[in-house]
Every structure is written in C-alpha cells, then in structure tokens.
C-alpha cells in the first residue's frame, strides 16, 4: 500500500466517522455483509486499517472482508491485511508453543496456573486463537507460588521486571512481568493481590475449582470457566475505561458463541467480587454497540441499571478515539465511583486504588524503596501528575 499507515489522533479522529461505522459492523457477532459492503464504499482504506489497529480489531476486519467479493476490497488493501494477519498468526503460534512450555514447567514443579484472556479467550469467543489481537500471555498464579514461578521464568531465559528482593520484601506490583530480551515474548502473572481493579479480592481457589480445559492447537490449556472469564474481561474493560473496541467485541462474541452460559453463576461470580455494575456496563455496551443478544432476564437487568446506561453513554463519547480522548483525573475518579456503586463501597474502592502502591511507586532506577508509608503517599501524587493534565481538570 503506497500510503503510510498512521494511527488516528485526537486532533483528527472526527475524520474517521465513516471508518468507525465499518469497524462497529465488523465487530458485531451478527454482522450484515450487505450493510458492510455499503459502509465500505465511502470509507478511506488507510484510515480504516489504522483505526482497526488502534482498536485491536484487525482480525475482525480481515475476517469480514474475506467474506466479501474481490471487487469490494482494493487488492493492495486486501494483500496488506493478508500479510498482517499471517504475521499475527505466526506470532500466536509462537506464543501458544511458549505457553505450553511454561505450563509444563509450572506443572512439573507443582505450581497451578490458569490462562486468562489471550489465546483461550480467542477460542472461547471466536473459535480461532488468531482472531484476537494480543501480544502477551496472562496467567493466574497463587501468591504463594510467585517466588518459585519467578525462578522458573528466569531459568527459562526471561528477565523479571519484579526482582526476587521485592517479592521477599512483600512488595505487590500491578503484575509480575517477564520478557525475553531477544524476542517479543511477554508473560504476565496475576493473582488476587495484583488484580487491584476488582472491587473485592478474587476468590482464587474458587476460580481454580471451576476451571475448564480449552482445546488449543491440539492440546488443552487450563482456563477460567466461561462465567468467570466473562466477569474478568468486564472488569478489565472497566479498568481501562473501555477505551478499545476489542474489549467490547470480546464480551459480545463470548456471550453470543457460548450459548450454554450459566447466567446465575455469572451473577454470583460478579457479586463475589463486587463487579455487578462493571458486568452490566460491559453487557450494555456489547448489546447497544454490537447487537449482542442477551437472554430476556439478563437484558432486563442490564436495561434496568440506569447508572450502567449513563456509564455506557460516557464510554461511547470517548471510545472512537481509541484512548486519545480519555477523561481527566477527576472524571476518571467519578467514573470509578459510579462503576463500583454504594455510599461506602465506592469511596473505599477509589481510596484503595489511589493508595495501593505498585512497582511504579516503590521501584525507581532499579532501586527498591524500603519505606512502605512513603510508597503509599507517593502514589496519589504520581497519579495526579500522570492523569491530571487534561484541560477539563
């Protein structure tokens, strides 16, 4: 393709309105080929691909365009999509092979692990591990196993972002991140202590007890039940203010493909972690934007949540910009308060997020802070510097 692909920015996102309509149709579980063909006619191909990449839905776009006739898609654009999807497919195969290598190492050492998001979600939601755009592997590992898991990852050639000294000191990061210096492989380990954006601590043992086996490249990967995965991806989307279409598309695809979801279990799982409104907001977005069909009682509960409807409307305002038009500091705080709900639980949730230090607060230049009190005080000031520069604030 002759033109350079550049990502959309806040200054020119209004120019992408036609392309945004195309992406919404592509991300819908029940997209209409005839409608899509009509939407493509006035769209700019370069902008379309740029926006799709920003929203992580290039796979959705490629899948939909494969169903259209040759005359509907520019040959150069079709080839660009083919090339990028081929590269992504090769990368996912590498990630999957590495995933099973890590799981085998953990299993042989008695470390339990569950795969979340990534390839297992791609299979559960789309039936294709290469459909979703993801660049790392996420696993749930109990806190008591983190030190040994870190040692195993280092022995496997990974560099640990969180040193053993920090683990021994009881420091809790946002995630235990590992990367291979000579490749693009990234692995993140999570547990009930790192996943702070869950309003209540995860019942990790219950998650392990309800685990399922997901077929992946001729093997089986241990994963969350569909019901627990649905709650997790809704909390993850809420954490990031639903700034990318891919997270909403995942919810829509999961509830559409998994027709035997136990919705009572979904409700119980969300209630256990205080994420009822986060769940309903995610379902509302998937239904309103992408036409996801929900069971009658579930749809009624989602529609009855007035605050979830208001939150979804807020998301729709900044969503097309793919993270370039997110709210400022105070608006973010207000969004999180409403997302949690409750006169006591909402402020408690916000305060916990504001004063729970992560590696950005207790690790600088490779030096480990020894004063937890200062770490706690440092965090709100760092967050204010990071998010408080919006002119709206």
pLDDT of 385 > 90? The answer is no
Instruction: Summarize pLDDT for 211-243 with one digit per residue, the tens.
Output: 999 999 899 999 999 999 999 999 999 999 999
Q: Which residue has the higher pLDDT, 12 or 19?
A: 19
Of 244, 198, 227, the residue nearest 27 (C-alpha): 244
Of 335, 328, 348, the residue nearest 308 (C-alpha): 335
Residue 194: its H or E element: none
pLDDT of 261 > 80? The answer is yes
Instruction: Summarize pLDDT for 54-65 with one digit per residue, the tens.
Output: 999 999 999 888
- How far is residue 330's CA from residue 343's CA, in Å, rounded to a whole number? 18
Residue 115: its H or E element: strand 113-116
**What's the order of all strands across the beta sheet hosting 137-141?**
159-160, 176-179, 186-190, 137-141, 113-116, 219-223, 212-216
Arithmetic mean of pLDDT, 256-279: 97
Q: Which residue has the higher pLDDT, 74 or 20?
A: 20
- How far is residue 336's CA from residue 358's CA, in Å, rounded to a whole number? 19
- How far is residue 319's CA from residue 282's CA, in Å, rounded to a whole number? 13
Instruction: Summarize pLDDT for 94-129 with one digit per residue, the tens.
Output: 999 999 999 999 999 999 999 999 999 999 999 988
Structure tokens at 262: 């136990």
Instruction: Summarize pLDDT for 156-165 with one digit per residue, the tens.
Output: 999 999 999 9
Query: Residues 322, 298: contact at Cβ < 8 Å?
Result: no
Q: Residue 71: its pLDDT value, please?
A: 64
Q: Which residue has the higher pLDDT, 183 or 151?
A: 151
pTM over 0.85: yes
Q: Residue 10: its pLDDT value, please?
A: 43
Q: Residue 69: its pLDDT value, please?
A: 66
Distances (CA, A) of 47 to 40, 66, 67: 12, 19, 21
Q: What is the secondary structure of 141-155 as a DSSP string?
A: E-GGGHHHHHHHHHH
- How far is residue 304's CA from residue 248's CA, in Å, rounded to a whole number? 20
Q: How large a percentage of the chain has pLDDT more than 70?
A: 93
Q: Which residue has the higher pLDDT, 182 or 309?
A: 309
Q: What is the secondary structure of 147-210 as a DSSP string?
A: HHHHHHHHHTTPEESS-HHHHHTT---S-EEEE-TTSS-EEEEE-TTT-TTSSS---HHHHHHT
pLDDT of 8 > 80? The answer is no
Q: Residue 364: its pLDDT value, please?
A: 72
Pairing of strands 186-190, 212-216: unpaired
Q: Residue 271: its pLDDT value, please?
A: 97
């Amino acid at each position: 393709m002759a033109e350079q692909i550049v990502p959309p920015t806040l200054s020119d996102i209004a120019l992408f309105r036609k392309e945004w309509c195309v992406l919404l149709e592509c991300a819908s579980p029940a997209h209409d080929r005839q409608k899509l063909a009509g939407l493509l006619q006035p769209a700019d191909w370069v902008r379309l691909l740029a926006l799709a990449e920003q929203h992580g839905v290039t796979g959705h776009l490629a899948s939909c365009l494969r169903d259209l006739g040759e005359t509907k898609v520019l040959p150069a654009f079709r080839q660009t999509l083919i090339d990028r999807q081929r590269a992504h497919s090769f990368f996912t195969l590498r990630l999957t092979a590495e995933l099973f290598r890590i799981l085998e190492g953990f299993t042989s050492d008695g470390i339990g692990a569950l795969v979340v998001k990534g390839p297992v979600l791609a299979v559960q939601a789309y039936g294709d591990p290469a459909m979703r755009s993801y660049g790392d592997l996420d696993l749930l590992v109990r806190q008591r196993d983190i030190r040994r898991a870190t040692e195993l990852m280092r022995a496997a050639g990974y560099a640990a972002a969180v040193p053993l000294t920090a683990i021994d000191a009881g420091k809790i990061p946002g995630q235990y991140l590992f990367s291979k210096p000579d490749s693009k492989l990234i692995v993140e380990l999570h547990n009930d202590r790192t996943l702070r954006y869950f309003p209540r601590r995860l019942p990790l043992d219950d998650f392990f007890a309800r685990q399922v086996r997901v077929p992946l490249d001729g093997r089986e990967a241990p994963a969350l039940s569909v019901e627990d995965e649905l709650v997790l991806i809704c909390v993850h989307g809420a954490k990031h203010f639903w700034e990318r279409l891919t997270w909403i598309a995942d919810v829509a695809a999961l509830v559409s493909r998994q027709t035997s979801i136990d919705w009572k279990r979904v409700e119980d799982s969300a209630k256990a972690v205080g994420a009822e409104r986060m769940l309903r907001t995610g379902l509302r977005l998937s239904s309103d934007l992408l036409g996801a069909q929900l069971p009658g009682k579930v749809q009624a509960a989602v529609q009855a949540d007035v605050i979830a409807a208001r939150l979804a409307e807020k998301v729709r305002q900044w969503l097309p910009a793919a993270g370039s038009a997110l709210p400022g500091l105070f608006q973010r705080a207000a969004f999180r308060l409403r997302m949690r709900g409750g006169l006591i639980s909402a402020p408690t949730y916000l305060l916990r997020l504001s004063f729970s230090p992560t590696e950005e607060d207790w690790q600088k230049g490779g030096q480990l802070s020894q004063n937890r009190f200062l770490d706690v005080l440092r965090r709100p000031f760092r967050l204010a510097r990071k998010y408080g520069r919006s002119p709206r604030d």
